[in-house]
Amino acid sequence: MSQRRKDTKNDRRKRPRKNTPHYLVVVDAERDIPLGRMVDITSDGLMIVSEEAVPNKSHYRLRITLPRMVHDRTELVIEAESIWSKPDANPDFYRTGFRFLNLSGQDGSLIEDVMHTFSLVG
């Protein structure tokens, strides 16, 4: 019985992603407009599902309201860049990957704690 090998050439992620069981809306904090729903996150970036495609190489301040307080905060505000976007399996939606930018050590630690608090790590 042969094992299937993961094609690492096409998988450029440095860390495995973990799907979130929570309904977390990702908002463009500059315009106060929802971009989509977060479906997974790592300490390096996140992926959303949205009704409209997000242009590649666009910079955003993303705001994510947390289901409960972590480190005395109820939301994350993170600078990020959209690095890819493609149609979802459901043709009514798109998936977009974001890479975090200018992430301070404190914000990185907060993201790690959010991932652990909401069971988003394997």
- CATH number for position 106: 2.40.10.220
Write b or e for each residue in 45-63: b if 16 or more Cβ atoms lie within 10 A of its Cβ, otherwise e. Answer: bbbbbbeeebeeeeebebb
Judge contact between 46 and 27, C-beta under 8 A. Answer: no
Q: Is 77 within the bounds of a domain?
A: yes
Q: Is 79 within the bounds of a domain?
A: yes
Q: Is 7 within the bounds of a domain?
A: no
Chain centre to alpha carbon of residue 43: 9
N- to C-terminal Cα separation, the chain: 27
Q: Is 84 within the bounds of a domain?
A: yes
Q: What is the pLDDT of residues 81-119, one digit of tens each?
A: 999 999 999 999 999 999 999 888 888 888 888 777 776
Q: What is the pLDDT of residues 30-47, one digit of tens each?
A: 999 999 999 888 889 999
The pLDDT value given to residue 91:
94
Q: For the ranges 53-57, 66-70, 101-105, which has the lowest average pLDDT?
A: 66-70
Q: Is 1 within the bounds of a domain?
A: no
Claim: this prediction has a pTM higher than 0.75: yes
Pairing of strands 94-100, 73-87: antiparallel
Total domain count for the chain?
1
Q: Is 49 within the bounds of a domain?
A: yes
Measured distance CA(82)–CA(103) in Å, rounded: 15
Q: Is 14 within the bounds of a domain?
A: no
Q: Is 10 within the bounds of a domain?
A: no
**Structural domain for 37, as ranges:** 19-117
What number is the average pLDDT over the span 57-72?
Answer: 90
